[in-house]
Structure 1
């Protein structure tokens, strides 16, 4: 019985060691879906949930004009085209809109400040701040609670930037 226990223990260690060797080998051929996932990055931020230690940031989408990613810039301009722009700086990656009231809510107005902070398409590369105010009794009052619009805009911009990147890769 003791020999069987030792044999099982040895088999367990051999299997564990072989599994670790296979898990660290990055030279295996990747499927189309794996390559696409690496190119697109993660919506969770950075590289998302990573189980492999030492994983570096995927810079395959790095393509910049100045200090900002050109796909993020184009996607941001397209996404914010509904609001009049107050200021833009393509080199610094800043877009600021005027106060804007949707047609169906004239008593509500919001302003967007958008900052592109990186040359790679990633959730960390973009920051959207939305300020809102409400018209009550003829006076505009600033809303203190954070707007739900900021994460929605960030998501739309990231998705559009990834689409633009993929389209450009197909053309090449």
Structure 2
């Protein structure tokens, strides 16, 4: 009997907390950040399944989000750009060697696929190649640096968006 009472009391507390949490006054920026989604992809845990995706960060240059495009350019400034198409949302770097890795080169391609700041709206592909016997190998492979760059671009785009809201 005691277990049933404790369970019912816990359920009532949880339900009441859910009701009062929705009344918490949030600033405009807090509401927009809450609706933007997760850096890890998807929307995270949603207790309101009917919730729609926010259009708060919608800002276009051509067909892509201007904050994602600017953030991509800012994050990739360490490498020379081969091309940057703001209307199509494609940014490609030249092959680049970090200062401490003279026998390794990287090339990065960024695809911006949405007009919102979302992890699904961005794809980063990085290639890596090595120098063998004084020649760069034509056999380049995918690099793990792509996920790091993708995360930096999303974070930078959100910062640019928040700065523009001020």
Same fold, TM-score > 0.5, yes or no:
yes
User: How many angstroms apart in 1 are the aligned matches of 2:32 and 2:115?
Assistant: 19
Contact 1:40 1:162 in 2 (8 A): no
Q: 5+ residue gaps in structure 2?
A: none
Superimposed CA distance per residue, residues 40-88 of structure 1 (whole angstroms, 9 cap, x where no aligned partner): 5321213222232122212211111111001111100111111111111
User: What TM-score, normalized by structure 2, do the two folds share?
Assistant: 0.82
Is 1:72 the counterpart of 2:72? The answer is: no
User: What TM-score, normalized by structure 1, do the two folds share?
Assistant: 0.79
Is 1:58 the counterpart of 2:54? The answer is: yes
Match in the other structure for 2:23: 28
Aligned mate of 1:108, from 98, 101, 104: 104
User: How many angstroms apart in 2 are the aligned matches of 1:26 and 1:91?
Assistant: 41
Contact 2:108 2:126 in 1 (8 A): yes
User: What secondary structure is seen at the aligned counterpart in 2 of 1:43?
Assistant: coil
Over 4 Å off, 4+ runs: 22-27
Match in the other structure for 1:163: 159
Greater shift, 73-82 or 32-41, is seen at 32-41
**Cα RMSD, aligned residues only:** 3.0
